[in-house]
């Protein structure tokens, strides 16, 4: 499978695939042309990469999952390294959620204050 086909089937661009390969996430043989030749299995790998990227993982985080797939497992998340990353990411997300909730409260408070203040000055202006 050439890079264009893989890109199309995976719903991404050739640029992106070359980038993944450059960073060791996907693999290819080279035809005598110099063209990359991809195994069918790489399609699954690319899907895994894309799914994890979409969730907020970066390429380094994703590496263990790919390795896990290559090791023959049905899913990329069952290997110890992947689980470790999952744990870490879950922690990160929880931390982020906590911070965001704090921010949300602040914003909400500030918004209410500002509106209250505006309504007060509105009263002052309309009933002087």
Partner DNA sequence: CTAAACGTTGCCGCCGGTGTCAAGGCAAGG
Partner DNA sequence: CCTTGCCTTGACACCGGCGGCAACGTTTAG
Q: Which residues bind DNA (CB under 7 A)?
A: 2-5, 12-16, 18-20, 28, 32-36, 50, 53, 58-60
Please give the distance of CA 73 from its chain centroid, rounded to a whole number.
Answer: 22
70 lines the binding site for a copy of itself (CB under 8 A)? no
* Cα–Cα distance for residue pair 6/15, rounded to 1 Å: 12
**Considering the rule CB under 8 A, would residue 71 count as an interface residue with a copy of itself?**
no
Per the structure block, which two tokens stand in for 46? 């690319």
* Other CB atoms within 10 Å distance of the CB of residue 8: 12
Residues found near a copy of itself in the complex (CB under 8 A): 55-56, 75, 77-78, 80, 82-83, 86-87, 89-90, 93-94, 96-97, 100-101, 103-104, 106-108, 110-111, 113-115, 117-118, 121
């Amino acid at each position: 499978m050439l890079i264009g086909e893989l890109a199309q089937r995976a719903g991404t661009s050739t640029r992106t695939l070359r980038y993944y390969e450059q960073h060791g996430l996907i693999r290819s043989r080279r035809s005598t042309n110099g063209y990359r030749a991809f195994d069918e299995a790489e399609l699954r790998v690319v899907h895994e990469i894309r799914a994890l990227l979409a969730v907020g993982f970066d390429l380094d985080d994703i590496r263990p999952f790919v390795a896990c797939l290559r090791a023959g497992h049905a899913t990329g998340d069952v290997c110890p390294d992947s689980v470790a990353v999952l744990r870490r990411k879950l922690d990160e997300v929880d931390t982020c959620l906590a911070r965001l909730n704090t921010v949300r409260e602040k914003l909400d408070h500030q918004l209410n204050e500002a509106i209250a203040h505006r309504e007060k000055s509105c009263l002052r202006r309309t009933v002087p």
